[in-house]
Chains A and B, each alone.
Chain A
């Protein structure tokens, strides 16, 4: 099925382009504008060239140190979260019941955390984890563990990670479940006749079918964990110290807290660029996988 060339397409996408350009390009221009200027207040700006950028990328400066630390912290967080959520999501998807009312029940419960406002997710875990009034904190402490996410770095990290697993594993699981559901029963019957082991079925039938959705899951989870703001902000406020200050939290601190427009703008642009690059890599892989699959199906 080949697409026909028709420039009328532009007419149809015009509203989308206008609305997204209004809310993406216009603000981004403001950011670019700020990033090359400095101010003495009173709305007097002067040209600063790449000053903010060189400061931002220089680990010896105060700003650079803060940014690079937050960046590494954030990358570590994304890596841990992906390493837990992707395998767990696949496992849960494989464990889903196949029919009956339990399917709907599982789906509804699993989708629930996804629709809770992000700051309420933070509030839930704040209440759940506090050593004095929270079930989790209270239980851990009565088991003899000295758990307190407000004062201990490691506990704060554990809380933020478990919270993210709680919040987003369902997304991975639901995506994989959708992928699994599209496998015709005949495949399984064939595997049974061949005497394939459970592992062989997973590797040869289920994993290939989940490939595409897994890619989407990894992309979405990486992006969202890389720009996480609200949940850790509510639970730990970026603390104790700076131990859970991720890039977005740092950025909002500089932009809306200190009103350091130049620094914030430079940070925004570098941050955006990183995301754009990662996004492009994924997009290329995804479209390539799509063409390959179409080519294969065309042959078959």
Chain B
């Protein structure tokens, strides 16, 4: 009853539309530059792993992936751990200025990164964190912490209040209740929030590029450097692109059963 006519065709066309550009990138990454420039081939006629080998053997390339994963993980851990108690407070208590505070937090999720690029540069240079993963991780908190609070608030509100009350009657202290009872109950919510923090930190480039030069330069910034260089190395660029898709694909695979609920931010 709730299907629509021609739905198989619609969904197939949409999936093809999504996959075609990705296929083309993968296709390019297995070609030599000679084949890319000289001929138009739908699949690599002389498949080569040369592009990938270059990335995995050249430190200036593969270190980019390590840097990126570094700040993404730091950011996710910070965001979730500060957002958890706040989400509980917003869900359970009414306190002075709570609605305004919530709006203010949310508005930071919407703030354009371009506005903050320059002041962040000044700020993190001044406190000596410039060009470390910490700078990028803290900078990404500006949009990830509000998002994590928002998502987790939805999940905490899904836990019946009676559970809190019973736990306190049973003599649980607040921290013990929080760690032993609440956190396991909203486990999937924490997974979803972590997924989103990972996602938005992983895909962001502007701040990550502005706040790093050498020691913490993310892979995406290393790629832009190659783009601007004269004489495009398309094969190498494509291979680097494919490798940035893989962590995301792995994460999706792990959370695939929660994706639908997760994207509704726990509040359908």
In the bound complex, what is the Cα–Cα distance between A136 and B40 (angstroms)? 12
What's the dominant secondary structure at chain B's contact region? helix
- Report B263 CB to chain A, min CB distance, Å: 4
Determine the chain A residues whose CB is within 8 A of the CB of B18 once the complex forms: 109-110, 112-113, 166, 170
Contact of B1 among A92, A192, A234, A276 (CB under 8 A): A192
Query: Does any Cβ of B come within 8 Å of A295's Cβ?
Result: no
- Report A283 CB to chain B, min CB distance, Å: 5
Judge whether B145 and A198 touch: CB under 8 Å: no
Query: Does any Cβ of A come within 8 Å of B118's Cβ?
Result: yes
Contact with B along A36-55 (1 / 0, CB 8 A): 00000000000000000000
Contact with A along B206-237 (1 / 0, CB 8 A): 10001000000001100110010000001001
Judge whether A125 and B21 touch: CB under 8 Å: yes
Among residues 9 to 34 in chain B, which have CB atoms less than 8 Å away from a CB atom of chain A?
Answer: 10-11, 14-15, 17-22, 24-25, 28
In the bound complex, what is the Cα–Cα distance between A30 and B146 (angstroms)? 22
Determine the chain B residues whose CB is within 8 A of the CB of A118 once the complex forms: 203-205, 220
Query: Does any Cβ of B come within 8 Å of A107's Cβ?
Result: yes
Contact with A along B81-101 (1 / 0, CB 8 A): 111011011101111101101
Contact of A20 among B81, B105, B119, B248 (CB under 8 A): B105
- Report B109 CB to chain A, min CB distance, Å: 8
Determine the chain B residues whose CB is within 8 A of the CB of A119 once the complex forms: 205, 220, 223-224
In the bound complex, what is the Cα–Cα distance between A30 and B126 (angstroms)? 12
What bracket does the count of chain B residues touching chain A fall in?
Answer: 35 or more
**Interface-facing stretch out of B48-56, B183-191, B251-259:** B251-259
**Interface-facing stretch out of A57-65, A78-86, A147-155, A249-257:** A249-257
List chain B positions with a Cβ less than 8 A from chain A.
Answer: 1-8, 10-11, 14-15, 17-22, 24-25, 28, 36-37, 40, 42, 78, 81-83, 85-86, 88-90, 92-96, 98-99, 101, 103, 105-108, 110-120, 122-123, 138-139, 141-142, 145-146, 149, 161, 199, 202-206, 210, 219-220, 223-224, 227, 234, 237-238, 241, 244-245, 247-249, 251-253, 256-257, 259-261, 263-265, 267-268
10 contacts between A and B (CB under 8 A): A13-B90, A24-B108, A27-B116, A95-B10, A108-B256, A117-B220, A123-B25, A178-B263, A255-B117, A271-B115
Q: Which are the 5 A-B pairs with shortest beta-carbon distances?
A: A115-B248, A27-B119, A178-B264, A227-B112, A9-B95
